[in-house]
Chains A and B, each alone.
Chain A
């Protein structure tokens, strides 16, 4: 499904989180409406199963309601905070759930693709987005593939190796060197 409305910009999400910290339920519902589709996409990409991903989405929002007061806009963006909660939940479930790993391509048609449109990149601010896109593009192709598969798909290093048909040792070194190069590029 394509997005019907533009992604919420970060100041809107941060404002809703601040309201949630004050136990404002209508704001919590609004936060759900504005961010759940994006978070579900992250969860589906990692968990590859709609029912599991929607259960995880519940867990994520229950956590967000309880922890909204811990969000500190001085430390980072609201979107990054939400996405981190969702991804760590999905990675936990995926690593615990051998079954999901055994059937990596179940429900493959439901796995969300990428959207290169402007609004997808605008939510966090264009400068930052361009920097990551540029620095990823500057990596060697295998380094980039490994990092994106691990981050977006929640794949372990051995799963990345299986997916690419490459030895585990090479994957480990591509990831380390890729991250080191990425860091150097993003900080330059």
Chain B
């Protein structure tokens, strides 16, 4: 297998993450990760997968001295500085609020970017500031067979997926949300897109393959 083949890079990424890639190979892989976004994404993916093993460890309370030592190392802020920072923050907040009201546009409450396994972005989904609509924009080249559709789902934790609507093959759409969809989205960490017959899932649950999953970034 050639060194630069994606399969081999992905395996190196896994070995880097579990720590068995060592010495000079580790250092050169670190450099490569900094300049190659594909490699960086593969490393992220493995870190994400394996993090679950770390979360299974029983937590251990640190000694009382650790936090004060950290505070010393990052440099303690004086109360006076705190006051002026707080005042500045309040001013900025007031100004920003006024500006936003004046503009009558507010940033989205949440966003998610659906991308292919190779990392090519396909759709950007934004929950509008009012929280009652999704704006879905096609950002990459999406190809959907004529007799199939791509359906967006909220994946609420511990509950069944809830359909949010059909994804556009090009351009933008707005999907209005009902209360059930809003609640599902609020309880979800991820959204997914599944392959469905034209017109969407006939059953109310995903029937085809789950093609893409994206984390919801809340702002």
Contact = CB atoms under 8 A, between A and B. Distances in A.
Interface in B8-33: 10-11, 14-15, 17-20, 22
Contacts of A132: 49-50, 52-53
A112 B57 contact: yes
A15 to B, nearest CB: 8
A65 B115 CA distance: 30
Contacts of A29: 67
Contacts of A173: none
Interface in A121-170: 121-129, 132-133, 147-148, 150-152, 154-157, 160
Interface residues of B, number: 50
Contact of B19 (A76, A123, A151): A151
B189 A121 contact: no
Contacts of B11: 176, 179-180, 183
Interface in B172-215: 189-190, 214-215
A121 B44 CA distance: 19
Contacts of B146: none
B56 interface: yes
A101 interface: no
B51 A2 contact: no
B132 interface: no
A124 B52 contact: yes
Interface string B109-122: 00111000100000
Contacts of B77: 25
A37 B59 contact: yes
A152 B54 CA distance: 7
A41 B58 contact: yes
Given A11-B189, A180-B11, A150 B18 contact: yes
B62 interface: yes
Contacts, number: 181
A103 interface: no
A176 B11 CA distance: 8
Nearest to A175: B20
Give the bracket for the number of chain A residues in contact with chain B: 35 or more
Given A80-B47, A147-B18, A151-B19, A32 B53 contact: no
A121 B60 contact: no
- Max chain B CB contacts within 10 Å: which of A1, A45, A125? A125
A38 interface: yes
21 contacts: A1-B58, A2-B58, A2-B59, A28-B74, A40-B59, A50-B63, A54-B66, A57-B66, A65-B70, A76-B215, A77-B215, A83-B51, A87-B54, A124-B55, A128-B52, A150-B19, A152-B53, A156-B20, A156-B22, A176-B15, A183-B11
Given A113-B58, A127-B155, A183-B14, 8 more contacts: A11-B218, A38-B54, A62-B74, A76-B44, A79-B51, A80-B44, A84-B47, A125-B155
Interface of B: 10-11, 14-15, 17-20, 22, 41, 44-45, 47-63, 65-67, 69-70, 73-74, 77, 111-113, 117, 155, 157-158, 189-190, 214-215, 217-218
